[in-house]
Structure 1
Amino acid sequence: MPPPGERSNFLPTSGTKNQHQPSALDASILGSESDMPSQFIWPHHERPCLEAPQLACKKHGVFMVVNHGVDPGLVDRAHRCMDFFSMQLCEKQKAQRKIGENSGYSSGFVGSPNIVEQYFVSVMGQDFRHFGKVYQEYCEAMNKLSMEVMELLGLSLVLGRAYLRDFFQGNDSILRLNHYPPCPKPDLALGTGPHADPTALTILDQDQVGGLQVFADHQWHSLTPIPGAFVALCYKSCLHRPVVNNERARRSIAFFVCTKMNKTVTPATALVNVENPRIYPDFKWATFLEFTQKHYKVNMKTLEAFSNWLQK
């Protein structure tokens, strides 16, 4: 780019001779140009491949998210705050999950993005406000990232950038902190077992211990942690499981992307036709969440079981 004082003097045109000259784009000029100046054309080999996320979702149900712009310092603070799991059991049980609720300690969720800080203070006391602030900020960063992912998925489905982003705007997403103590015989540990998350998308940050496996091509594959990358898991097409380590504790932070609780989930009309008829009835996310928490373990057939349950 030329110095600020010189930018107004340079107006690129299709007749520009020196292709190496630094140039500034005056958008008003483009309307009168018959050809886009070559220096402002996005090289084909650098353009994002919109078929890639669609193929990843269909074939594997999982993909890595890199170059996302999330502050690595924030992610580091979020992992440090997971020292919560090293506290005395009597302290941790202050946040114990109550029957009928989704928030809480012991195989439960920490809370939704809008109430994380208040949640920590209300169940653990003022000394834990810092924890709440860190995870509040983390949730906000994940929510922003999830909207960007939704834009990309919307484009790959030829729905446009805004469709899925708007559908999930103002969501009631959920944060979950996972801690897996070391186990001397990992192969014998029951754990959570193979499952699919009931939410639309899971953005997972796993530490460098690793342990996440996905089922593809009739076998389990371990996903090697990539520093700074998040794992995106799509519901319905990604069966996965965590595997414990025999020497080190494993920790991960999962952000489950959900719609608003009272949002009606319905297929995009642009994707429904004679060749691709709709499969499931409309439903509220709150109803589906209740079904997965009280009536049916989440797996690859949950939506079918839920549809049958709704229509009884």
Structure 2
Amino acid sequence: MEFHRVQTIASLSTDKETIPEEFIRPEKEQPAITTSHGPVPQIPTIDLNDPDEQNLVRLIVDASKEWGIFQIINHGVPSDLITKLQDVGKTFFELPQEEKEVYAKPHDSKSVEGYGSKLQKDPHEKKSWVDHLFHRIWPPSSINYKFWPKNPPSYREVNEEYGIYMREVVDKLFTTLSVGLGLEGQVLKEAAGGEEIEYMLKINYYPPCPRPDLTLGVVAHTDLSAITILVPNEVPGLQVFKDDHWIEAKYIPNALIIHIGDQIEILSNGKYKAVLHRTTVSKDKARMSWPVFLEPPGEFVVGPLPQLISKDNPPKFKTKKFKDYMYCKLNKLPQ
């Protein structure tokens, strides 16, 4: 079978004591220097099944304004399904390199879908210690199964089931965030693409790294999505920038980590904040995560909601097609 050769971290052989120069971050970004080790606040954890609706709205609104990130428990996704999602993803990344490269992102592709290690287009930029696989899991019209691994054989079934449960979580989050803005429950979801919102799954695989103090799995960024819903594994690494500190997210088994992304910040005209976050890596263990990015279709136009704009609160962001926003962000162009 013919496959597209990609350089990935998994295909890189490194010395046991060092890493290639292109992975070493400048000192102002190195985890050993910049991670906060003192007493720090914890990322909020919220019970999504809270019977007190007003309390749930208040907690999610506060977390989305102050942190841009929170963890949810009692979210309705079965714990055994989360385990299966992790198992099939881990099995794929443990396959021989040539088997993974069957799913490589095509060289000339304008989409991020496929297996690889690079997102931004900057040949002079430092590299990140991560391999990834991207593919959409919803809606059915946007799915391209050529990027879905056939090995392990249960991969498709598990991801399709996960997509079904995700939709319920997504609807509850959008509804709660809408109500928190004083709007009808469906407003934010409709403004982010409605039933056409694309669920882009990414599996991040961060192999063990001989010098985790010098490099990053993913550099500091906000997500270009509306919302990101992330499953981590038990290896810590997700860090959030809050009050001038990099704070590590506590691992809570079966919790989902919710990131407010750029599109919700835009739609709310800055009331909700997209979270600045990054990922560190481990010396001894592979870290993995499974974010689902909720993205408007490419042609869909997103801007501050008119209901939130007034003479005293003018628009803080431009209104533009999502594909144009994404192009500017990935190519580091001004919005």
TM range (shorter): 0.7 to 0.9
- CA shift, 1:173, in A, is 2.4
| Mapped contact 2:137–2:143 kept (Cα < 8 A) | no
Determine the C-alpha separation between the residues in 1 that align with 2:251 and 2:324: 34
Amino acid at match of 1:92: K
1:141 maps to 2:141: no
Hey, what's the Cα distance between the residues in 2 that align with 1:66 and 1:228?
Answer: 7
Structure 2: give runs of 5+ residues left out of the alignment: 1-49, 118-131, 263-273
Distance change in 2, residues 1:127/1:227 (3 Å): closer
Tell me how far 1:126 sits from its aligned partner. Answer: 5.2
Provide the C-alpha distance between the structure 2 equivalents of 1:178 and 1:123, rounded to a whole number of angstroms.
15
Match of 1:80 in 2: 87
Distance 2:147 2:173 in 1: 33
Deviation at 1:110, TM superposition (A): 2.1
- Please state how far the C-alpha of 1:47 moved relative to its aligned partner: 4.7
Confirm or deny that 1:192 pairs with 2:229. no
The answer to whether the Cα contact below 8 Å between 1:118 and 1:132 also exists between their aligned partners in 2 is no
Q: Does structure 2 retain, via aligned residues, the 8 Å contact 1:117–1:129?
A: no
Cα distance 1:66–1:140, how it changes in 2: closer, same or farther (>3 A)? same
Q: Could you tell me which amino acid in structure 1 is paired with residue 252 of structure 2? A: I
Partner of 2:295: 258
Matches of 2:174 and 2:318 in 1, distance apart? 22
* Cα distance in structure 1, aligned partners of 2:286 and 2:316: 42
Cα distance, 1:89–1:48 mapped onto 2, change above 3 Å: same
* Structure-2-length-normalised TM-score: 0.70
**Residues 238-292 of structure 1: CA deviation (Å, up to 9, x unaligned):** 1101111121111110000112222211222211011110122321112222223
Match of 2:320 in 1: 283
SS at match of 2:297: coil
1:50 is paired with a residue of what secondary structure?
A: helix
Query: Partner of 1:112: helix, strand, or coil?
Result: strand
Following the alignment from structure 2 to structure 1, what is the Cα–Cα distance between the partners of residues 79 and 142? 20
Letter paired with 1:142: M
What is the CA–CA distance in structure 2 between the aligned matches of 1:289 and 1:144, rounded to whole Å?
A: 26
- Tell me what 1:269 maps to: 306
- Please state whether the residue corresponding to 1:231 is helix, strand or coil: strand
1:56 partner letter: A
What does 1:100-249 correspond to in 2, within 5 Å?
Answer: 100=109, 101-107=111-117, 109-114=133-138, 119-120=144-145, 122-123=146-147, 130-167=154-191, 168-170=193-195, 171-236=197-262, 237-249=274-286
Deviation at 1:124, TM superposition (A): 6.8
Retained in 2: the 8 A contact 1:113–1:173?
yes
AA in 1 matched with 2:327: E
Q: What's the counterpart of residue 50 of structure 1? A: 57
My pick for the range that moved more, 266-275 or 49-58, is 49-58
Q: CA deviation digits over 1:125-154, x for unaligned, max 9?
A: 755553122212222322321121011100
**By how many angstroms is 1:156 displaced?**
0.8
Q: Which entry has the higher C-alpha Rg, 1 or 2?
A: 1
Q: How many residues align?
A: 255
> Tell me, which stretches of 5 or more residues in structure 1 are unaligned?
1-42, 297-301, 307-312
Q: Please tell me the residue identity of whatever aligns with 1:180.
A: Y
Question: Where is the helix percentage greater, Structure 1 or Structure 2?
Answer: 1
Q: 1:209 to 1:233 in 2, by over 3 A?
A: same
Contact residue 98 and residue 104 of structure 1 kept, 8 A: yes
How many angstroms apart in 1 are the aligned matches of 2:166 and 2:52? 29
Matches of residues 27-42 of structure 1 in structure 2 within 5 Å?
none
- Displacement of 1:180 in angstroms is 0.8
TM-score by length of 1: 0.75
Seen in structure 2, the aligned counterparts of structure 1 residues 268 and 124 have a Cα distance that, compared at 3 Å, is: closer
| RMSD over aligned Cα atoms | 2.5
Structure-1 residue corresponding to 2:100: 92
Percentage of identical aligned residues: 27
Is the 1:139–1:175 Cα contact (8 Å) retained in structure 2?
no
